[in-house]
């Protein structure tokens, strides 16, 4: 099937700046979306999720925005810290059939 955000781009930000990681999803029937963070040598770690009946959800220093019209998801990280350096994945639930992951974005935080 189609994939979410197939490539692994890199986003480089200065410590203290805000980061925005974008993701395009494929299935308009998907109703649940998750952002994961993966550090080197570890498994993906849940950051925040959002259901399709919402367009914004906030956590601690993170905000997820969902635009169903253009099938776009973004993760905003406020005041980015060196510990935020990792690969970030978005995932969609493909109408409840399975959790499909995007290709990931590498975030590099410069001190």
Which residues make up the interface to other proteins (CB under 8 A)? 3, 6, 8, 31-32, 34, 36, 38, 41-46, 49, 51, 87, 89, 93-94, 96-101, 103-104
Which residue, 79 or 98, is less far from other proteins as judged by CB? 98
Q: Are the C-beta atoms of residues 54 and 31 closer than 8 Å to each other?
A: no
Cα–Cα distance, 34 to 48 (Å, whole number) = 6
Q: Which CB, 41 or 111, lies closer to other proteins?
A: 41
User: Residue 104 Cβ, how far from other proteins at the closest point, in Å?
Assistant: 5
Cα distance between residue 67 and residue 81, in whole Å? 27
Q: Give min distance, CB of 16 to other proteins, in A.
A: 27
φ, ψ for residue 102 (rounded to 5)? -75, 175
Q: Which is nearer to other proteins, 32 or 61 (CB)?
A: 32
**Integer Cα distance of 93 and 80 in angstroms:** 28
Nearer CB in complex with other proteins: 38/63? 38
Q: Is residue 38 within 8 Å of 87, Cβ to Cβ? A: yes
CB of 59 to other proteins, least distance (A): 12
């Amino acid at each position: 099937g189609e994939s979410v955000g197939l490539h692994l781009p890199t986003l480089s930000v200065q410590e203290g700046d805000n980061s925005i990681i974008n993701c395009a999803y494929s299935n308009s029937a998907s109703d649940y979306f998750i952002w994961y963070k993966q550090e080197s040598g570890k498994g993906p770690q849940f950051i925040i999720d959002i259901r399709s009946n919402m367009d914004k959800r906030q956590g601690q220093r993170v905000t997820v925005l969902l635009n169903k019209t253009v099938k776009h998801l973004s993760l905003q990280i406020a005041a980015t810290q060196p510990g935020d350096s990792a690969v970030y994945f978005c995932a969609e639930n493909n109408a409840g059939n399975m959790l499909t992951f995007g290709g990931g974005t590498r975030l590099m935080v410069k001190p």
